[in-house]
Amino acid sequence: MVSTIKNILSQKYFSKEDIVALLKTEGDSLQLLLDKALDIKRCYVGNYVFYRGLIEYSNVCGKNCFYCGLRAGNEKVARYTVSDEEVMEAVRFAYGKDFASIVIQSGENTNAINVHHITDLIKRIRQESNHTLEITLSLGEYEEEAYQEWFDAGAKRYLLRIESSNDNLYRKIHPDDSSHRFGDRFSALKTLQKIGYQTGTGVMIGLPFQTIEDLADDLIFMRDFNIDMCGMGPYIEHPDTPLWQFRDLLLSQRERFVLSLKMIAILRILMKDINIAATTAMQTLNPNGREKAIRAGANVVMPNLTPQKYRENYLIYENKPGTDKDAGETLFEFEKNIKDAGEIPGYGLSGTSKHFQSRN
Ligand code: 5AD
Ligand code: SF4
């Protein structure tokens, strides 16, 4: 097994079969895979781990994804939108801590007032940071006009997870209606790329009904799409969602975690110069999740800067951490995780995707 994996890792091009073999690897050969990914990361994107301050701007969402605790149908969630003043406070905190970039994430709220409001916020954030703070949006699917308006206002990065690249699986984890179409999601991602965003996507790993072949296809999808950034992590069940009923079909949380590490490592090998996040979901399933993700090839972390009082209402999945920690405490932990992984906290670095730079 070790020699098979060694052989695969020495190749330049990876077939679906190769990727499946890598996803199935365990023990010593798994360590080879992780080590190779770390080498490649250091060689192509360096030792720095970039910071993105995450603002969970609003949990108002019009969608009903079967996996997500924030789905419109979950009446237990108290809905909120962070005030402009609070956003600016978080922005000043990020700026003060020498983060060169922030992420604004929220549920999907496509009404025109919200779209323009976000435009105003983007302009304000750019202005108050002397046009230095880079803004990533992670707001979901919108019309091209909205994406263009935000781009023109100064947001140059967008994260829209495809969730699964398999249309059939996509259908099993979303309602069968016109607001949850795989084709629309794909087109939205294409539109973002066309407009000129640094475009990121990602998938959930260990979903019910998902196979190893599906995950291999997800990685191939990201390679073929030529993404600039990726945020992906384990699927974590949530009791107030329709997928909860399938929890007995799931791999153990430990297995989902290891599978996610492999996904990160393989993606790093397939796409050497993209940015890959060590996601919160990784940290949720393992107390050293962030550090392990970095050692598997991730080079971005996203400390949560959402005002404390809102955090208990942004529970996408069970046991999401950080609801009871203040930002200072969290930052210390991030720095420790990065250093323990043998890397350097990338304060002051905007961390533009190298892949984006070289394809432009
Ligand atoms: N487990 C893990 N990730 C989830 N997401 C939504 N629900 C879950 C869950 N139960 C992810 C989706 C979405 C992002 C905001 O959170 O990939 O795009
Ligand atoms: Fe809404 Fe996003 Fe959750 Fe889907 S995953 S229900 S779009 S917040």
Query: Rounded distance, CA 21 to CA 213, Å?
Result: 10
- In this structure, of 72-86, 273-287, 311-325, the range with the lowest mean pLDDT score is 311-325
H helices of 13-60, where? Answer: 16-24, 27-45
**Torsion-angle region of 50 (φ positive above 0: left; ψ -120 to 50: alpha; else: beta):** beta
pLDDT confidence tier of residue 134, bands split at 50, 70 and 90? very high
At position 98, the amino acid (one-letter code) is D
pLDDT confidence tier of residue 218, bands split at 50, 70 and 90? very high
User: What percentage of the chain exceeds 70 in pLDDT?
Assistant: 100
Domain 2-7+14-359 belongs to what topology? TIM Barrel (3.20.20)
Q: Which ligand is nearest to the CA of 141?
A: 2
In this predicted model, what pLDDT tens digit does every residue of 10-25 receive, in sequence order?
999 999 999 999 999 9
295 lines ligand 2 (CB under 6 A): no
pTM exceeding the 0.75 threshold for the entire prediction: yes
pLDDT of residue 102: 97
Quote the ligand 1 centre to 41 CA distance (angstroms).
25
Alpha-carbon torsion (165, 170, 176, 177), positive or negative: negative
CA-based nearest residue to 359, from 278, 272, 298: 272
Alpha-carbon torsion (160, 161, 165, 171), positive or negative: negative
* Boundaries of every domain in the chain: 2-7+14-359
pLDDT confidence tier of residue 275, bands split at 50, 70 and 90? very high
pLDDT confidence tier of residue 82, bands split at 50, 70 and 90? very high
pLDDT of residue 101: 96
Pocket test for ligand 1, best of 158, 317, 318, 319 (most atoms within 8 A of CB): 317
Which residue's CA is the nearest one to ligand 1's atom 18? 161
User: What percentage of the chain exceeds 90 in pLDDT?
Assistant: 95
pLDDT of residue 346: 96
In this predicted model, what pLDDT tens digit does every residue of 310-334 receive, in sequence order?
999 999 998 888 777 767 778 999 9
pLDDT of residue 171: 98
- Contact partners, residue 266, CB within 8 Å, separation at least 6: 14, 19, 22, 23, 33, 37, 219
- Contact partners, residue 106, CB within 8 Å, separation at least 6: 56, 57, 58, 59, 60, 61, 81, 138, 139, 140
pLDDT confidence tier of residue 282, bands split at 50, 70 and 90? very high
pLDDT confidence tier of residue 55, bands split at 50, 70 and 90? very high
- Protein residues with CB under 6 Å of any ligand 1 atom: 67-68, 161, 163, 204, 235-236, 238, 281, 316-317
180 lines ligand 2 (CB under 6 A): no
Q: Which atom of ligand 1 is nearest to the CA of 161?
A: 18
- Give yes or no for residue 174 having a pLDDT over 90: yes
What are the φ/ψ torsions at residue 158 (nearest 5 degrees)? -145, 135
